[in-house]
Structure 1
Amino acid sequence: MDERAQRIHDAITEITQIEDPQVRAKAATEALKAIHEGNSTLAEARRDGVKELRAAGLSYRAIGPLIGVHFSRVKQLESGEPTGIHARPRKEKTGE
């Protein structure tokens, strides 16, 4: 694991081990807020990295193992299209 990602992982583990429930809950709330705010920034950084690797001539199959995802996911990351539950159309509510 990248050392920066490891520090994030370690900080999360440290929060879960705080004895005082109020302090633990407050720290967890703050960490969740930071993760939520950083999520789109990290997604953009990953997408930019994929685009740079593609511009350098690497294939999806070559990039996948480099960044730790399946090669088919690399194309999705490059396009920026939503996947999973975000890609599914919502059901319209019926007035019944």
Structure 2
Amino acid sequence: MSDEEVQRVLDSINALGDTGDAEGRARRLTELLDQWPDTHRRVREMRQEALAELYDSGNGLTYREIGALLGISFGRVRQILAGETTSAKKQKGPDGE
């Protein structure tokens, strides 16, 4: 996806909350949120597949090269390829709950 494609997706999401009456906005946003976990999971899987293609079982780019290409750390590349997520950390509050 190019940056332009990503921006179109983000603009579409923003439009769900910017147009129509309050009931219509609430319904559309509720539908999006209901589908979000599956959509989010699929986006993560697609990213993992793309990184796996770049890595090619060690025959392609290194973790460091992939990280430099994407602007993320090699450790994060390793986590993505291993299927590790950071969602549990993000969901916890400042006191760990």
The interval holding the TM-score normalised by the smaller chain is 0.7 to 0.9
Deviation at 1:57, TM superposition (A): 1.8
**Matched residue, 1:76:** 79
Q: What residue in structure 2 maps to residue 57 of structure 1?
A: 60
Q: Which amino acid aligns with 2:16?
A: I
Larger Rg: 1
Instruction: Provide structure 2 residue ranges, at least 5 long, that are not aligned to the other structure.
Output: 90-97
Please name the residue that 2:3 is paired with: 2
Q: How many residues align?
A: 86
Cα displacement (A) at 1:84? 5.1
| Higher alpha-carbon deviation: 72-81 or 16-25 | 16-25
After TM superposition, which residue ranges in structure 1, 4 or more long, deviate above 4 angstroms?
none
CA apart distance, 1:19: 4.3
| Residue 14, structure 1, aligned to residue 15, structure 2 | yes
Question: What's 1:91 paired with?
Answer: none
Relative to total residues, which structure has the larger helix share, 1 or 2? 2
Counterpart residue type for residue 79 of structure 1 = A
Which piece of structure 1 moves more, 30-39 or 46-55?
Answer: 30-39
Letter in 2 for 1:51: A
Segment drifting more, 33-42 vs 77-86:
77-86
Taking the aligned partners of 1:13 and 1:65, their CA distance within structure 2 comes to: 30
Q: CA RMSD in A?
A: 2.1
Identity of aligned residues (%): 36
Q: Report the TM-score, using the length of structure 2 for normalisation.
A: 0.72
Q: Structure 1: 5+ residue runs without aligned partners?
A: 87-96
Q: Which amino acid in structure 1 is aligned with residue 17 of structure 2? A: T
What whole-Å deviation, never above 9, does each CA across 1:50-93 have from its counterpart, x for those lacking one? 1111114211121124334332210000011343526xxxxxxx
Q: TM-score, normalised by structure 1?
A: 0.73
Q: Paired residue for 1:33?
A: 34
